[in-house]
Amino acid sequence: MSLDACADIVRRGDPDRFLATMAAPVDARARLFPLFAFNVEVARAPWVTAEPMIAEMRLQWWRDVLGEIAAGGTVRAHEVATPLASVLGAEEARLLDGLVAARRWDIYRDPFDDAAAFKTHIDATSGALLWVAARVLGAERGEAALRRLGHAMGVANWLVAVPELEARGRVPLVDGRPGAVRELAARAAADLAALKAERDAIPECAIPAARIAWLAGPILTRAVDDPARVAEGRLVPSDFRRRGGLLWRAMRGRW
């Protein structure tokens, strides 16, 4: 039932990642859903209250869960924490602690100091998530490639989120001018294209995890072609194209 609860959290909170996970083998789903449910819970923790102190407490609760997992002792009972503890090792828990810490940015209204700070944030969230997802599926190599893929995915997802972040009073981009947005997307798209030419850099066991980045390419391409789509919220392909692209990859064992 805890696994069902995790799957439902992902279905409601991160539907595209839910679809990608459902395209994975059953045993992989059982390891990925707790991780992605954890990510949904952490990502929304800063937004469920207007009180920074309460938001900080919510994030600290998850850091405490990860601390319990890393220590190898008893982990508090919870519909996500309990199954999460069954798939994470100590090193994965420590990696995810940095992800939770990075989510503190969402609590406050301070912009990123510079492009390096923005990159650090993306790497600490999307990059770490993808590497941990690969590790829980048994990957022992490919960290650099998976983090690169996670960065491209993170930039794409961030550009999709820009209108909502701005509506909530945040300053999501270091430079929001069209030329700078195009350059940001182009750099991520170019690195993604280079990574696709090195397919063996990602181990086969990690492909179901890597597949969660299946929308990064189309989104980044659309941002490069027309940066105005970012502010207008027109980056995500149609449902037909999204599902078709995922099905094509799943049928061919590709990411």
What are the pLDDT digits (tens) for 111-139?
999 999 999 999 999 999 999 999 999 99
**What is the model's pLDDT at position 95?**
97
What are the pLDDT digits (tens) for 213-240?
999 999 999 999 999 999 999 999 999 9
Helix (H) or strand (E) holding 44: helix 26-44
Dist. CA 104–CA 214, nearest whole Å: 27
Q: Using alpha carbons, select from 145, 171, 158, 207 the residue that is nearest to residue 43.
A: 158
Mean pLDDT by 10 residues, the chain (255 residues): 92 97 97 98 95 97 98 95 97 98 96 97 98 98 97 98 97 97 98 92 96 97 98 95 94 92
**Domain residue extents for the chain:** 1-108, 112-255
**What is the model's pLDDT at position 199?**
74
Dist. CA 246–CA 118, nearest whole Å: 28
**What is the model's pLDDT at position 2?**
85
Dist. CA 68–CA 50, nearest whole Å: 28
Dist. CA 30–CA 3, nearest whole Å: 7
**What is the model's pLDDT at position 252?**
92
Give me 154's structure tokens.
């993170």
Q: Using alpha carbons, select from 159, 9, 181, 183 the residue that is nearest to residue 83.
A: 9
Dist. CA 201–CA 217, nearest whole Å: 18
Read off the pTM.
0.96
Q: Which residue in the block uniquely carries the two structure tokens 């490069």?
A: 224
**What is the model's pLDDT at position 1?**
58
Enumerate residues 6+ apart whose C-beta is below 8 A from 215. Answer: 16, 153, 156, 236, 237, 242, 245
Q: What one-character-per-residue DSSP string does 104-169 give? A: GGGGS-PPPSSHHHHHHHHIIIIIHHHHHHHHHTT--S-HHHHHHHHHHHHHHHHHHHHHHHHHTT
Dist. CA 78–CA 87, nearest whole Å: 14
